[in-house]
Structures are given as C-alpha cells and as structure tokens.
Amino acid sequence: MSQIYAIVKKEMWQYFFSPVAYIVLSSFILINSFVFYVVLAAMSKSASPPLSPMALLFGGTFFFWLVLIVMIPVITMRLGAEERKLGTIETLLTSPVSDFEIVIGKFAAAFLFYLFAWLLTFVYVLILKAYGEVDLGSVFSGYIGVTLIGAFFVSIGIFATIISRNQIVAAVISFSIMALMVGMTFFTFILGSGKKEFFQNIDLLAMMENFSKGIIDSRNVIYLISGTILFLALAVKSLEARRWQ
Amino acid sequence: MLNAVGLKKLYGNIKGVENVNFKVEKGEIVGFLGPNGAGKTTTMRLITGFLYPNEGDVIIEGYSILENPVLVRKFIGYLPESNPLYEDLKVSEYLEFRGRIKGLKGKNLKERMDYVVQRCEIEEVMKKLIGSCSKGFRQRIGIANSLINDPPLLILDEPTQGLDPAQIYHTRELIKSLSLDHTVILSTHILSEVEAICSRVLLIHKGNIHFDGSLDDMRAAFSGGTQLKISLLCPENKGVEMLSQIYNIVKFTVIPSGDEKICSFKVTSKESTNIREEIFWKCYENKIPLLEMSLIKRTLEEAFLKMVSEEREEMQ
C-alpha cells in the first residue's frame, strides 16, 4: 500500500511540475464553463426547460465526450511511455513492488487528477443553487457516472501507455480505443433488432444519459467497472511480459 | 549470497547470454569484465530480475528470483547502465520516492535519506532538479538510490561510465568504502577499474563466462612466458646478434634508448624457462656489460586483449 502511495505522490509531483497539468486543467474548465454558459443562456429563454443544466453538462453535449477522449490520453500518456524512454523503468521494475502495484499506482494518480478536474465543476452546482432549485440526487448520480466512465477511460489510457515507448503513440492508441467505445452508440441506429440490444447495453452515451437523469443502473455500473478491471489486468500482463522479452 | 545457475537469455533468436554460472559470497567485490556487447548488462538485468531468463535461475539469500521476485528485489540495490533518473524531480523528491517504494517510511525514511546524502556527498544539490545536476552528481544520486534501503547486495552497471578522471576517482573511492558493508558486483569494460576496485573478476565474452578467479590468477592464466626489459652497453646490431643466439627467447623488440652506446630491448621468453640466468651468461661470454634487467609485469589489459584476440583467431 505504501508503495502505491509512493508512486501516486511521485506522479503528482511530476504532473504539477510540468505545464501539462495546468494546461489540461485550464482547458477543461474553459470548455466546461463555455458549455455551462451556453446551456444556461439557452434554458433561461424557455419557461420550463426539459432538463437541468447539470444534466446537459454530464454527457448532454458532444463537448463532454470530446473533452474526455482528448484529456484522458493527455494525462495518461506520459505515465508508462516516459519510464521506458528515460530508462527509469529499469529502476522501477527492479524495486520491491509488484507489477500490479505499479499499474494501480499509475492508475490512481491519473484517476485522482481526473477527479480533481471534475471537482472544480462543483462550482456550477453552487452557482445554480444560489439562484434556484437543484436536484442534488441527479447531480450526485451524474458525478457517479463521470467517475465510472473516467475510471474506464483512464484504465484504457494506462494500458496504452504501458505498451508504448512513445507518448504520442500512447495517446493515439488510447484515443482510438476510447473513440471506438463511444462510437458503439452508432450500432444502435444502424442494426436491426436482435443485434441492436447488445450494443444498447454497451452504449456509453445512453449510460451517461441515465446517470445524468439520476438513474444508477447496475448493468451500467458493472459494465464500466469490469471494463476498468479488464484494461488494468491487460496493463499488468503487458508489464510482466516485458521481463520475458 | 548470490548464486546464478545456468542462465540463458535469448532476444528473439539472438543469444544474449548462455550457460552463465557463478556464485558470489558475502563481502566480495566482483568485477564483471568484458568488451561492449559481451553480455554484461544482460547478466546484470537477469540477476536484478529486470529480465527473466529463458533457462536457469538466480538465488539470492536463499530465495529464487522467479518464485519470490518482490522479496528478492529487497536485497538488491541496483544502478543500471547509463543511470536513468527522472529529470523533472528534485533530488530530495527522487530519494524520498525511491525510499518509499522500497518500503521505508516515517523516521526510518528520514534517517536513511540523511545517511545516503551524507555518504554520497549530495547535500548541496538536494533542492535542485535532477535535470540540472552535473554528471558526477547524477552518478552519486544513482548510487544513493541503490543504497537507500541498505541492501546487502549492490549491483552497479558501469558506475564510472562517462565521468571525468576526478569524478571516476571519487566514484571508485565511494564504491570501495561501500564494499566494507555491502557485497558489490560491478561491470566495466575498463580493466584498470577492475584492478583498482575488485577482489575477483568474471570475464564475460560473447555471452559466456570465460574466466572466474582472482586478479593474479587472471594475469597468470593469460600471461604466457616472462617478459623482461634489458639494457646493454653496446651498439644495437651487436645486441641483436647476441639475443638471436639465445634459443629460449621467443621474440624481442628494440626499445629506443636515445643513446648510441646503449641499446635496450623488450624480451619475451618461452614459458617456464629461467631466461634471466641465460642472458646474464651470454653477456659475460660476449663481454657485453649488462646495465639493466627488469621483469615486466603484464597488465590485465594485455591479458584481456590476448584473450579476446585468441578468440578471434579461433573463429577464423
């Protein structure tokens, strides 16, 4: 456990030493604030808006997915690829830690960074609350959705960076996997019934819509958690495999 | 302490090392010697568990590195070749990270950090970024990392590579002082380094261990016959004529003396002959005064080159 803590702490030092952390955080806030503003402005024109502004922030616009599949590769790409490039992977893999602890440490660091970024959006909830009623239940489930989808995507990013030597390659691999995962939603339009149901169950857009409306569906939760575990397991195995190369 | 048994490592179809067997006892300083590409780094990576062997096993303090990898790595302090470090961490942050990842915490971590900082003399750079430290300091930071959890075994891959002469001297002194408390395995392609530090040498060449023994054993094993330097008070042609008459001399070369009246030679004799006595009597016979006769101690360098070149001849 203390080894995982050591890795998380070190990754945090490195995040906040480089400009990457600040650029990612400010772009994230900039884009989300823009969306928040537009959503608020649009809704204030209608007498009875169909959705709460927070619901639109959580997956209601295409910006949500854009930010996710660009930001997560950026915050994960360095974690494994740079260790390989600098050669520090040699001191890391010869330390008394298991490959599992290394992967979990790296995952935890990126995931905490991601959660920190979303924590900043809580300001919007406070703003809304100051001017009117907010359904805290659906806000809460929205954050649950953001957390679970984030964990899934961060695990994809960790897997990509562990298998790459180059940060850009890692970013492109994770971006592509995430884009495909999000793109599964199209099969629900083009396929006939029978095959369609399968894709409805793994449709991330529909999942996020549920979360933002306050619905926590156990199928969605299980899908996202098992996806996270799958990619983390692949990352551990890839790390182990490099000792046999 | 360490027992490497039948190690074999293939990179695809290319042989890294094969049939590597050796034991290291507590308190030894073992030098891994070999030309570049001989398999030194591969062997070090196998005994630190960075790579796993295709065949064989490494036993450290009684535990197999394949069966108890995490436990065994606690016994090892490792300085990899080219000493990779995180450029964007401060030295203090780096050492704290390395200490924690090796299981140190709290007061213990602080004590060990203070100890390695003082031992490796890196106090003045503690607040600096690693990326802005000089090569000599970086090397000491790398050694400090290998020492931080006080492991019984230190494995240093080319610890003086790329340093200037003063830094090399300091690093060697540091390693020598460390060997009082730790068993040390280091690799180098520089023979004088082995001569300066090690008590035992393992010669590795083309992925196999060619020699395992003390420095004196190695000199003896590869030196062949005796070499002498002699100086005679006579013209050069006369000296050449005399030496050609001695059957037991394998070869001799002229050493320019800078004085016409004196000629000097480097003489190599056949093995196990008492060449000095023969030369003395020959000089007496020819009435040539013998001004100097001294034994040339063969350096390891020559022994090493001899071994590598013999290998080449065999190949051809």
Can you give the pLDDT at residue B314?
54
Residues 33-72 of A with CB under 8 A from B: none
Find the helix packing angle between A122-131 and A99-120, rounded to 10°: 30
In this predicted model, which residue has the larger pLDDT, B217 or A113? A113
Q: Which residue of B has its CA nearest to A102?
A: B101
Using the Cβ of B87 and the Cβ atoms of chain A, whether some distance falls under 8 Å is answered with yes
Q: Do B103 and B74 contact (CB within 8 A), yes or no?
A: yes
Can you give the pLDDT at residue A82?
94
Of B188, B221, B254, which one is at a domain's C-terminal end?
A: B221
- What's the sign of the alpha-carbon dihedral B167, B133, A94, A168? negative
Instruction: Enter the DSSP assignment of A184.
Output: G
Tokens 């106090």 sit on residue: B123
Shared domain for B67 and B161, answered yes or no, is yes
Per the structure, how many domains does chain B have? Answer: 2
Smallest Cβ–Cβ distance between A87 and the set B73, B82, B88 belongs to B82
Using the Cβ of A13 and the Cβ atoms of chain B, whether some distance falls under 8 Å is answered with yes
Instruction: Enter the DSSP assignment of B316.
Output: -
pTM for this entry:
0.84
In this predicted model, which residue has the larger pLDDT, A4 or A191? A4
Give the list of residues 6+ apart from residue B244 with CB closer than 8 angstroms, or none. none
In this predicted model, which residue has the larger pLDDT, B35 or B178? B178
**pLDDT, tens only, B73-87:** 999 999 998 899 999
Shared domain for B151 and B234, answered yes or no, is no
Q: Is residue B132 assigned to a domain? A: yes
Using the Cβ of A12 and the Cβ atoms of chain B, whether some distance falls under 8 Å is answered with no
Shared domain for B100 and B111, answered yes or no, is yes
- Asked if pLDDT for residue B311 goes beyond 60, the answer is no
Shared domain for B185 and B287, answered yes or no, is no
Shared domain for B233 and B160, answered yes or no, is no
Shared domain for B155 and B274, answered yes or no, is no
Q: Do A65 and A18 contact (CB within 8 A), yes or no?
A: no
Shared domain for B18 and B113, answered yes or no, is yes
Q: Is residue B278 assigned to a domain? A: yes
- Asked if pLDDT for residue A12 goes beyond 90, the answer is yes
Can you give the pLDDT at residue A70?
95
Q: Give dist(CA B30, CA B161) in Å, integer.
A: 17
Residues of B in contact with A10 (CB under 8 A): 86, 89, 93, 97
- Asked if pLDDT for residue B309 goes beyond 70, the answer is no
Per the structure, how many domains does chain A have? Answer: 1
**pLDDT, tens only, A49-82:** 667 778 888 888 889 999 999 999 999 999 999 9
- Asked if pLDDT for residue B315 goes beyond 60, the answer is no
Smallest Cβ–Cβ distance between A14 and the set B86, B103, B145 belongs to B86
What is the average pLDDT score of chain B? 87
Can you give the pLDDT at residue B69?
92
What domain range is B230 assigned to? 224-300
* Range of weakest confidence among A7-11, A163-167, B133-137: B133-137
Size of the A and B interface in Cβ pairs below 8 Å: 80
**pLDDT, tens only, B229-258:** 899 998 888 888 888 888 888 778 888 877
**pLDDT, tens only, A20-34:** 899 999 999 999 999
Three-state secondary structure call for residue A41? helix
Shared domain for B209 and B278, answered yes or no, is no
Using the Cβ of B11 and the Cβ atoms of chain A, whether some distance falls under 8 Å is answered with yes
Of B175, B199, B221, which one is at a domain's C-terminal end?
A: B221
The mean per-residue pLDDT over the stretch A110-138 comes to 91
What domain range is A222 assigned to? 2-244
Q: Give dist(CA A209, CA A188) in Å, integer.
A: 15
Q: Give dist(CA B192, CA B82) in Å, integer.
A: 20
Using the Cβ of B101 and the Cβ atoms of chain A, whether some distance falls under 8 Å is answered with yes
B173, two tokens: 């002194």
